[in-house]
Structure 1
Amino acid sequence: MLKYTVFVLLAVIPKSLFQRTMSYEAFFVSVLSSENAFPIDFSNLRVLGRERILNGTFDILEDIDNEHYEFYLEAYTNVARDGNYKKFPMALLRDAVCAVYEKYGFYLRDCVKYGINTDLYINTTTCLIPKGRYYLKNVTINVTNWPVIMSRGLCRHSFTFYKDNVAVGTYNITSSIEDRAVNFRK
């Protein structure tokens, strides 16, 4: 009897009941950079369609490595969607680019996958992001690894690259966090 019960629990109950489902979803609003931002040029990236999918090409203007480049990230929220952003009480401390990627890259790897929607391969053993032109195709935001509770509204991630301790480029990725739409289709 116990074997039968275990079989029913493992085989009959859908896997989705054991997974955490988020009560929200996120969509791209914009991808912007400061004037003369370096070392990445985002000017050819576009957010398209109702699904707010990110598409286009971007240029890495110089090899990015741990010796010369550091990365700093701040997050802002705008619940009222009125342009009045408030800083999140936390940020990523300025650290070497590859160290940040190793610690927090899982947020990005769920959205951007080499060979599927980009041709940029980041080799973490040599820690070099090579100079070149790369594409992003049909990139959406996957919130699976995000916190369970997120405030709704606009969220802006502002990240700055430092080269040899000098700020060389600031980039802003703004997303909209909304309640998950109820799906009545089967």
Structure 2
Amino acid sequence: MFQASLCFLCLLIVEGLRFGLDKYKISLVSFDQSNKTGVWDVSSMRLIGRERLLNGTATLHEDLDDTHWSFLTELYSDFARDGHYKPLPFNTPQSSVCEAYKNYRKYFSKQAKFGKQTDFPLDRDLCPIPKGTYFFKDIALNANDFPTTMQRGYVRGNGSFFYDNVHVGTYTWTLLLEDED
């Protein structure tokens, strides 16, 4: 009896440790900017096809450096998929743009191959981030470098830029997290 109970307990522990660790996929649902005159112009970016691949160009109107620019991200969830988004407890605090780029670039650097899918310098840390028009081609997100314990459903992020601590633009993206087939 003790041996059977111990086996059952081990099975529960193993299954419990696996809970939430199933692989999931991420799909881009939407991408937009709240101000059409922001530091980034993403108005020509499109999500193409059933796979919702990111395509187009984005223009950075001026160099982003730590002298004037800062950035913060707020995350919201709609795990019930009913349109009611609730704040998530893990947001990125307002920090200098170069610090934010250095700290969070690792989550996005493997999403697009530099030189083939984009010419935006996701492959290296740099400051200032140089102004210019950058192309993005057939970019799909994958969850390989994202946290494994994410609840499925919609996640919305608002990335806000500040110039000398004055809000100058918000960029919003919505993602759908689903179990892999």
TM-score bucket (shorter structure): 0.7 to 0.9
Assess if the C-alpha contact under 8 Å between 1:22 and 1:143 holds in 2: no
Deviating above 2 A after TM superposition, structure 1's stretches of 4 or more consecutive aligned residues are 121-125
For the residue of structure 1 that corresponds to 2:104, the secondary structure is helix
The sequence identity of aligned pairs, in percent, is 39
Assess if the C-alpha contact under 8 Å between 1:37 and 1:170 holds in 2: no
Unaligned runs of at least 5 residues, structure 2: 1-20
Q: Which residue of 1 aligns with 2:9?
A: none
Q: Which residue of 2 aligns with 1:73?
A: 73
For the residue of structure 2 that corresponds to 1:109, the secondary structure is coil
TM-score by length of structure 1 reads 0.81
- 1:94-133 per-position Cα deviation (integer Å, ceiling 9, x unaligned): 00111111111111102133212111226634x0112211
- 1:21-46 per-position Cα deviation (integer Å, ceiling 9, x unaligned): 85211000011110235110111001
- Give the Cα separation in 1 of the matches to 2:101 and 2:112: 13
Q: Which residue of 2 aligns with 1:119?
A: 119
- Give the Cα separation in 1 of the matches to 2:125 and 2:180: 34
- Give the Cα separation in 1 of the matches to 2:158 and 2:35: 14
- Spell out the pairing of 1:1-186 with structure 2 (5 A cutoff): 22-121=22-121, 124-125=125-126, 127-181=127-181
TM-score by length of structure 2 reads 0.83
- 1:54-101 per-position Cα deviation (integer Å, ceiling 9, x unaligned): 001111111111111101001111112222101101210100111111
Structure 1 vs Structure 2 CA RMSD = 1.5
Letter in 2 for 1:124: D
Unaligned runs of at least 5 residues, structure 1: 1-20, 182-186
Assess if the C-alpha contact under 8 Å between 1:47 and 1:53 holds in 2: yes
- 1:127-171 per-position Cα deviation (integer Å, ceiling 9, x unaligned): 011221111001111211111111111111111000111000000
- Give the Cα separation in 2 of the matches to 1:179 and 1:148: 11
